A and B are shown apart, each in its own frame.
Chain A
């Protein structure tokens, strides 16, 4: 199913305090600006590996600044919830 393979990643700039953990865990999607705050480089993440890393980054942020939202079949945003289990289970 396509819907499970694309997620939207965003950073709440008010919550971000520049811990930079997200960019370590999800380096392909989040880069750091010159002050060390996270900035979304790639708005969507595709593929299981990438999506898993995005969810990890969101879970690791001490301030909960990183949000990962699933996209529906036609690109609409699904209500936030737990990440799909199969994404987390696979190593």
Chain B
């Protein structure tokens, strides 16, 4: 965030500050929980960031469907107006309920009256957004962190986290936990196992999906002892992402889950860039085939080379996330892959673990 603010400060024109409260991950609830229960923390952070970069207008960006978040923010804004604080002008903008509509350049396009689709620009948006003005898009949790930092003081705030992920973290836990979709706050350093221990998972699960639906699979044993901070997660090839931990129970099939997630994500592609529009459906079809058990060695080779062709080819990181998910799945569910080769699936009789929205109608 500091880099974005600094860029906006140096760039010509009055910057726009955007609070990204559009939580596009279907299973993630951390932004909604934060905005519903601590709206003033987010708004305080936004007001501070706006003051730092000298912008007089703050845009809060939401999905159409987040009615509760909208209500909570409206109430909070009314309270702030009543308190007559010297503050920037607040504006709430709603975007469509689709996955890529929460991407920073998509939000900037929406603010300009365009469609909420990602765009390609050689400049960082904090230097020059689609409107020509510097556009700083920050997630609402990031802004809440800024407010927390100011309230708690730097030392206390830092001690709430670890050097590579300072400050307390919010996580959404889904799948085989006591209450799927629960949001927890982690203060200080903890391993994934310690966090899961608090929500009724007593032993390492089959696998853990880290960082969202376009995240990275880790085997249960590896995840169990991995500390929850950026540095440690990077060491095992994962990224905190949107703060989602998906717990896959023993006796569930990770390949079938991955296939469902990939089909969902493929359907959410904006279809703007060729490799993403052609590649993701092809990847999804091959993942489906693997999950069904009609697996041949050649289709696996083809799946990998397709992934390589798609990776890094889009204007946004959407295709990269899908490829990362598939690559980690092939690595983590190696044994399951072998079972599928012999037409056995360890999770065929179980219902799916992770909730996926119904496929959208193509307009």
Q: Which A residues lie at the B interface, using CB under 8 A? A: 10, 12-18, 33-37, 39, 67, 69, 77
* B314/A13 in contact, CB under 8 A: yes
Assess whether B119 is interfacial by the CB under 8 Å rule. yes
Q: Which B residues lie at the A interface, using CB under 8 A? A: 118-120, 122, 272-276, 278-279, 306, 309, 313-315
Residues of B within 8 A of A12 (CB): 120, 315
* A14/B272 in contact, CB under 8 A: yes
Given A33-B309, A34-B309: A14 touches B120 (CB 8 Å cut-off): yes
The DSSP consensus for interface residues of chain B is: loop
* B122/A13 in contact, CB under 8 A: no
Contacts across chains A and B counted by CB atoms under 8 Å: 42
Can you name 23 A-B pairs with beta carbons within 8 Å? A10-B122, A13-B272, A13-B273, A13-B275, A13-B276, A13-B313, A14-B118, A14-B119, A14-B273, A14-B315, A15-B120, A16-B273, A18-B274, A33-B274, A33-B313, A34-B306, A35-B275, A35-B278, A36-B274, A37-B274, A37-B275, A37-B313, A67-B122
Residues of B within 8 A of A35 (CB): 274-275, 278-279
Quote the shortest CB–CB distance from B282 to chain A (angstroms): 10
Which residue on B lies nearest to A16, using beta carbons?
B274
Residues of A within 8 A of B118 (CB): 14
Alpha-carbon gap, A10 to B301, bound state (A): 29
* A33/B122 in contact, CB under 8 A: no
Alpha-carbon gap, A32 to B172, bound state (A): 41
